Copies of this chain bind each other. A is one copy, B any other.
Amino acid sequence: MPKINGERLLADLRRIADFGRYETGVHRPHLSPQDVESRHWLAGRMKEAGLEPVIDGIGTVIGKSPKTGPRLLMGSHTDTQPRGGWLDGVMGVIYGLEVARALAEDPETAHLAVDVASWADEEGHWGQMTGSRSFVGMFSEADIDKAKHRDEGTPMREALKAAGLDKTPREHLVEGRYRGYLEAHIEQGGLLEAGDKRIGIVTAIVGIMAFRLTFGGIQNHAGTTPMPIRKDAGVAMMRLYNDVMDKFPAVSGPRSVWTVGKMSIEPGAPAIVPGRAEMILQFRDADIKILQAFEAKLMEIVADSQKKGPCTVECVNLSRTQPLLMDERFLEAIEESAVAHAPEKHIRMPSGAGHDA
């Protein structure tokens, strides 16, 4: 039975947090000098573990096992949000590395092949999950040509050149090479902690739908425009948002979430009746039927607001990602292991956040 070396695992997690350390966390956006440095360190650790590491032409680090036979891919990402946490992503990569080491150290399992990946740019500074999408052929050379840093505008080509990766080929998934992909991740909600659990077995990655709602009214003087003749776009937005909060629970599943995280009114002065307002409504669920029910309910609410007036409302779909179900045999294997190592401390749950998988 192979055994994880907890001290070695923690030492690696702590070591990589030195690259771009910022207060209690880490500042290591993809292709920043600290990020590039950490990738070379990671490749070195992979080599020491008996893997064959490459840093590819977009920055993804893959340590390939020289062994043959059925092969598992493990990993996550080591880039971070600006001033991000020290575990998010990184944990899944170092767990993969430790699993590869632990398997190799036990004669019973030494023949098993595990590749370990740190996907480039999961945090989307240059696009959306650029590294894993590149790996599966969803990010082309032309996409790289166009990509610019979302905040600083630096072309991705320039940043790759600065990282010494401009002449390096990119790695691509070889069909049939892997039996599966396994990613350990910290929980980003508070469900485990609240329920005194230690392990969440992810059943699905949620689908996300987002809509932009734009309200058109008439901008006016807030002192001289009588209430009955106003067309206040801010009021129209607030009334619709209120409707959403009242009516969504009726079609909600137990884990559904819906959020307005962005809204604005124009021109935005205390003494001016807003002529225009805008909000972004997003909802998530692992069940496509619930997403569809939310969408239908939203359309109903929008039509109702449009009919009642006095403001116009326009509803535009911004994104629509499908929920992804995890492989049942994987779920069972993880559950079996959880029963053995953390009895009563595990639950099945969907992942609310997006991931490279």
Q: Residues of A at under 8 Å CB distance from B?
A: 187-191, 194, 206, 208, 210, 220-227, 229, 232, 234-235, 238-239, 241-242, 245, 252, 255-265, 268-274, 280, 282, 284, 318, 351-354
DSSP class of A's interface residues: helix, strand, loop or mixed?
mixed
A260 to B190, CA, bound (A): 34
Q: Is A262 in contact with B269, judged by CB distance below 8 angstroms?
A: yes
Q: Which residue of B lies closest to A277 (CB)?
A: B263
Instruction: Compute how far the CA of A272 lies from the CA of B256 in the bound complex, rounded to whole angstroms.
Output: 15
- Could you say which residues of chain B place their CB within 8 Å of the CB of A224? 187-189, 191, 351-353
A270 to B208: give the CA distance in the assembly, Å.
Answer: 11
- Do residues B257 and A222 form an inter-chain contact, with CB atoms below 8 A? yes
B227 touches A206 (CB 8 A): no
Can you give 21 contacting A-B residue pairs, CB < 8 Å?
A: A187-B224, A188-B221, A189-B221, A189-B225, A194-B229, A208-B223, A223-B354, A224-B351, A224-B352, A227-B257, A235-B260, A238-B238, A238-B245, A260-B274, A261-B273, A262-B269, A262-B270, A263-B268, A264-B264, A270-B282, A270-B318
Among B234, B242, B261, which residue has its beta carbon within 8 angstroms of that of A261? Answer: B234
Complex Cα gap A224–B191 (Å): 8
Contacts of A265 in B (CB 8 A): 260-263
| Of the residues B238, B255, B318, contact of A226 by C-beta under 8 Å | B255
